[in-house]
Structure 1
Amino acid sequence: MTGYPDHHGGGEATGHGPVARFAWPVVIACLMLAASGAANAACAVARHGAVMVRHGTRGAARRPPVMSRVPPHRSQHGLASWYGTGRQLGHATASGETFDPDALTAAHTQLPLGTRLLVHSRRTGRSVVVRVNDRGPFRGHRILDLSPEAARQLGILGTGTAPVDIEPADVAADEEVASAPR
């Protein structure tokens, strides 16, 4: 720079300055990525959720694999909880329907949406048939999240969690069943 107002130092006005010097390699790298398909692969990984970050956690958690069908004799034993206080009211579930606390529904991490499950509480002896319409639970070692109505019918609404046995139910699609203790 010479100090004269009409002189430009470094060639910025002519397109040969520091900004232009780094722009061409970036453009060339982008074109090479687009031609090789690596950009599409990276976008596909992000789009299909190879890693899912949950709200309220600091790290990333792997999304569990979803089953395409339920084997007829598959049963599971573990801890169930219920959900649906105020945050879920009016929000969409994983199946796309609006969360209804009065419906006999549940959330499971792997079972196909729409699967009907017979849930038996080992503590109260009551059973209820629920339909999986959401994903979860993502807390602790729980295997199932129940709607408030399903938890009430099982008798676990006051305790929050309870040990349960679950298995696929053979029930007609329009029928929701609750039973007394066995």
Structure 2
Amino acid sequence: MNKSLSALTLGLLLAFATTSAQAKDEGFYMGASLGSATIEQDGADPDLGDFDFDENDFAWKIFGGYQFSGLLAIEGGYVDLGSPSDSGTKIDPYGLDLFAVAGIPLGPVRIFGKLGGIYWDSDIDIGDTSSSDDGFDAAGGVGLEFELGSFALRGEVEYLDVLDGTWMYTLGATITF
């Protein structure tokens, strides 16, 4: 009896997993997210002097991509990491990112991870002195998406290697065409 119940449970789980893998709509998608970014920057700049910065601010992003299957997508977008300031120091970073996204659909919920890079630019103001920095660095994240057909709500956490490190926490929505 116990073996039959275990086999039935395993069979139902496999059936659920294979049908849920098809749950995510395939095709092009667009989305937007709002949240917060925490930016860290320590440094000694010839123009700016020594400084230590660890602040957060409102952040947002718009993005788009192509969903190949419920398991794999490619995604890129524009990220505005806000303009946090502290004691006369202001940092204003933004960037363009590109990710490979892998997901595991579990019914209407999909857990995903993303790995890629970001081209970023940042203006740093300390008092009356300004400096600019840019670069292309690694980026990654994890998230959870609740899918309702072509529409989805998503929450995610991303690490962007912008300046000495930036964490972005967002809630957003996507629509698949």
Normalising by structure 2, what TM-score?
0.31
Larger radius of gyration: 1
Higher helix share: 1
Q: TM-score, normalised by structure 1?
A: 0.31
